[in-house]
């Protein structure tokens, strides 16, 4: 059984410990802030994320307060 994921874009506001990030979603999602972590491929390839970067986030429809960063735009 595959869960459908929601993909949105946002902007990184701050870096937190343990590769967590606070991300502000765009106006299409009501400008809310969520907590995100790096996906495995981004961690493996040493992709750096800094505050101010635009990122693509993948969330489940069951928990829209957390997400996974899958791409830096």
User: For residue 31, what pLDDT is reported?
Assistant: 82
Q: Residues 71, 55: contact at Cβ < 8 Å?
A: yes
Residue 7 — pLDDT band, cuts 50, 70, 90?
very high
Is the CB of residue 57 less than 8 Å from the CB of residue 7? yes
Domain boundaries, the chain: 5-72
What is the pTM (predicted TM-score) of this model? 0.89
| Buried/exposed 36-57: b ≥16 CB within 10 Å, e otherwise | bebeeebeeeeeebeeebebeb
> For 8-65, how does the pLDDT look when each residue is reduced to its tens digit (9 = 90+)?
999 999 999 999 999 999 877 778 999 999 999 999 999 999 999 999 999 999 998 9
Q: Do the Cβ atoms of 60 and 22 come closer than 8 Å?
A: no
Is pLDDT at 1 greater than 70 in this prediction?
no
CATH fold for domain 5-72: OB fold (Dihydrolipoamide Acetyltransferase, E2P) (2.40.50)
């Amino acid at each position: 059984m595959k869960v459908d994921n929601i993909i949105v874009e946002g902007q990184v506001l701050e870096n937190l410990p343990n590769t967590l990030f606070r991300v502000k979603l765009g106006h299409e999602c009501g400008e809310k802030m969520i907590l995100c972590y790096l996906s495995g491929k981004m961690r493996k390839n040493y992709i750096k994320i800094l505050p101010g970067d635009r990122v693509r986030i993948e969330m489940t429809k069951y928990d829209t307060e957390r997400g996974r960063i899958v791409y830096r735009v």
